[in-house]
Structure 1
Amino acid sequence: MGRIELPRLQGRSWCSGSLKFHQQLLLISENLVTEDVEALKFLCTDLLHLRKLEGVKSALDIFKLLMAQEYLNAEDTFLLAELLYRIKCHTLLEKLGYTKEKVQERLHEKGRVSPYRQMLYELSENITNEMLKEIIFLLQNHLPKRWITLSALDLLILLEKQGLLTKDNVQILEDVCVTVSPDLLETIKCYKKAKGEKFINMTSYKMDGPHRGFCLIINNVNFNSSQRKGSCKDAEQLERVFTWLGLDVRTYTDLTSGDIRSLMQTWQDLQDHEDRNCFVCCILSHGESGAIYGTDEKLVLIRTLMSHFTASQCPQLAAKPKLFFIQACQGNKIQRPVYVDTGAQTSDLSSMQDSFPLFESIPEEADFLLSMATVDGYVSFRHIEEGTWYIQALCSKLQLLAVHLGTPTHVLRWTALVKLMILFYTDKFTLTLLVPYM
């Protein structure tokens, strides 16, 4: 009999908890005015579909959407507490069992509203009616004529819809705030500064040693059956750029497979790495899947080459960036040309990774970047006079990166370089279209 009644008691308990939770939401909703609802909608823009938010008429509608997406439930009400805290409805926090201080303590750990969204909301709160009129006047060429009156939040959402405002590009706001209000401009500057500092702190390697590092260039030109014409052009460009970046460049020409293995062992054992910040290795040769050829036409696995410089094999380079750039075919297939609209947006990273691996990751060994001229199974193209598109473009992008960071000897940011390589690989044309010579 007890076993029959127990589920019923649990059911009542569950219903009671669910009812209490919904009662809390109803009470909160009844205490929110129209402006509060609009603010909640704006702060949820990054969490909920914009089209669904456009249909919201009340706070209860927002709560339903948050519950449907599992952002909000009886066991976890922190997101709602954060939203109420952001719109300064601090007295309503008590209905969820929170105080202003408790929310502040947990924001760093559980906060869902992005710094970008917080910054925009702060701007909207400080834009007076007079300022808003001036901003709309300055942006009139960017706004549809039907928009005669806008709230500050409406204006920001409209700019986002048009792609004029993103978390990485707030230039349009800076431009108008210079004229309208220095205080608003300061809010934007604080956001950009915090965003930049976070990037630097998370992604920087130390580049303050007595020497920047070594750059090895293996340039295999002459094979028994062929000559890699144009490869010397690549080697010259690499020498010039990496010397300009402050590295000590060493170039080796026409090495057999045995020579390459011996060379890697020699550089693995070198004690001078301890006083240097990084290590770069560029290999220009023929190749097959996962391997490169020596001039004796015997293969050397790329992973074998890289294994010489792991933290265990070369402790002097532990926790230091190790960059490998491989200009070599990885098979015999030719990539079919794809003609695209040059005005189109670059594909996002996730879709590119579905198409082909940009980099071969080495999860068991930290601080490596392996960049290949082509993907597994395919050839890589080389112009007999100008060299390879891969190396020429790489050198060009490295120079642009260094200039962007200030000087050639500026602290190099690892993630910045990775992003550079992603950009390098996602250019709006194919290898086949650019360099039609093997």
Structure 2
Amino acid sequence: MEFSRCLYIISEALAKDDLAALKFLSLEHIPLRKQEAIQEPKAFFQALQEKGLIDVGNLAFLKELFYRINRMDILANHLDSSREEMERELQIPGRAKVSPFRYLLFQLSENITSEELKCFKFLLGKELPKSKLNTENTMIDVFIEMEKKGILGEDNLKVLKTLCDKVDKSLVKKIEEYELNLCGEEEMLITEGQTKSSGEGCPEKSSGFTSGLLVQQLEVYKMTSRPRGVCLILNNHNFARARAEVAELKMRDRNGTDVDAAALKKVFSKLHFKIAEYKDLTAKEIRNVVNIYQGEDHKDKDCFVCCILSHGKKGIIYGVDGQEVPIQELTTSFTGRNCRSLAGKPKVFFVQACQGDARQKGVNIEVDSGEQDSSVETDGRFQLDCIPSEADFLLGMATLQDYVSYRSPSQGTWYIQSLCQHLENSCPRGEDILTILTAVNQEVSRKIDKQNAGKQMPQPSFTLRKKLIFPVN
């Protein structure tokens, strides 16, 4: 009964696209003829049971399927597993039941935009019946029809590569990586504990001894939805209430923060994010706003960005009432467990706030610290607590633990201004976010508060599994 109830609960959490993906990845085990009659998840699970692929105490294939389609929330909440566990399991020879070919096609389908899908259908106009190329058919449907027609198969990728070359050359690279790794697996000769490649039969293979399977290039997060997602900006400027209610903090207004907010709105609008700015929030209001976006359905979005501009100290930010909000509380609100529609998708946080009191004051430079007379904190490592252990998070902090971050009342903060400039210059070139943040680190670290020789070093922390690139087009 518990097993059946588990399957029922999972089936209720699946969308139409999820079911289509699960069926497609199972085609080597459940033939298309039988799949055509399956229109709901419960029937799919029944088919898996009839084939002996799942049963009480045997959920390995089910776990693999949900891992493959990036439903980490179901893995964690209902199957007592995790991304890390599945990655370890699937490295064991013979454990994976989804064929590399099938998984390749699924990955390609996830990276093909709606416009590119139209191109595929147009180019296949003479190969496939028009009824199979209507607007409702997905890329998975197209792949299935290509297989039926005999122009696509595990050893027949020529037509697919030709199509991808005309539509998006990056897709060709993914196919070539698959072919190269397949050749590597098939032609590695194991002799006396050494691994040697025969060097024959596979293009672009290196000869001689290798350390094992060829290393794949990192995958790239899907970033094709319009809008890409929400860019939430929490912009705290006026701290008069904090000065009145928590006098000992002596918080000044954050002049210049609106310059930062304007720069963030400009660059993330260009990157096709929907901007949502909230100004001068108390700690309670910050929590309320975060709860709103935690509860939204991000199913049709590829990413979530949150930019926090406020006073702070190690591991916390301040509301305009001088009350504290732990950064960890904000980030963990968007884990796969707490916000299921963002499971497997990148969650990006940029925090412009001090993380301590160690500072030197300049003439026209202010610091984003709420306190002026407290002692310097020197223990602990805030970033280990602020960023969730779950995958797919990026936390960009303006400064290291224990230190202040600098802000010009007229030009904005060193960190946010540098970040926006590098995003605007580098995203059109296709550079990934970690490369961009490294350049930001370099630029900000070179700046100096000449009056007091003050310096600043930003710090990114992340659990990203793929390259994160924000396409401009």
In which range does the TM-score fall when normalised by the shorter chain? 0.3 to 0.5
What TM-score, normalized to structure 1? Answer: 0.47
User: Which has the larger share of helix?
Assistant: 1
